Homo-oligomer: A and B are copies of this chain.
Amino acid sequence: MAFYNLADFQSKTLFEGFEGKIFHTDHVTLSYWQIAKGSILPVHSHIHEQTTHILSGKLQLTIGAETKTLEPGMFAIIPGNEPHSGLALTDCLVLDTFLPVREDYKNL
């Protein structure tokens, strides 16, 4: 399948306030997140390089020692193994990409 419509897929609540629709290509994992205002992503890290794109809303993101509020038109690049955390300042729609594929997301 080449074409995907998010409306055709059920979201899963992966963390409190984080509803995800997750897709795996041959090489990357894509996650579309609907995040409820006030939701917190605790500090964590993973081997995967991540990019985080804000599609709507405001997301406060901390990467290493740097914190920034991201809005549409802004994105972040998170190197593998870099600690990061987040706080949804409003309801948000966010697209994450992960490389390599997140095998830990395959059987959610």
Q: Are B3 and A76 in contact (CB under 8 A)?
A: yes
Report if A95 contacts B (CB, 8 A): yes
Total residues of chain A contacting the partner, CB 8 A? 33
List 16 other contacts, CB 8 Å, given A4-B74, A28-B99, A51-B97: A2-B64, A3-B68, A3-B74, A4-B75, A6-B73, A23-B77, A25-B49, A25-B51, A25-B77, A26-B49, A26-B79, A28-B49, A30-B51, A53-B95, A55-B55, A97-B97
| Contact residues in B for A76 (Cβ distance below 8 Å) | 2-4
Report if A103 contacts B (CB, 8 A): no
Closest to A53 in B: B95
Q: Mark A72-108, 1 if CB is under 8 A from B, else 0.
A: 0111111100000000000000010101000000000
A23 → chain B closest CB, angstroms: 7
A4–B61 Cα distance when bound, in Å, is 12
Sample of 25 A–B contacts (CB below 8 Å): A2-B63, A2-B64, A2-B76, A3-B61, A3-B63, A3-B66, A3-B70, A4-B74, A4-B76, A4-B77, A5-B73, A6-B74, A7-B73, A25-B49, A26-B49, A26-B79, A27-B49, A27-B99, A28-B28, A28-B49, A28-B97, A28-B99, A30-B75, A51-B97, A55-B55
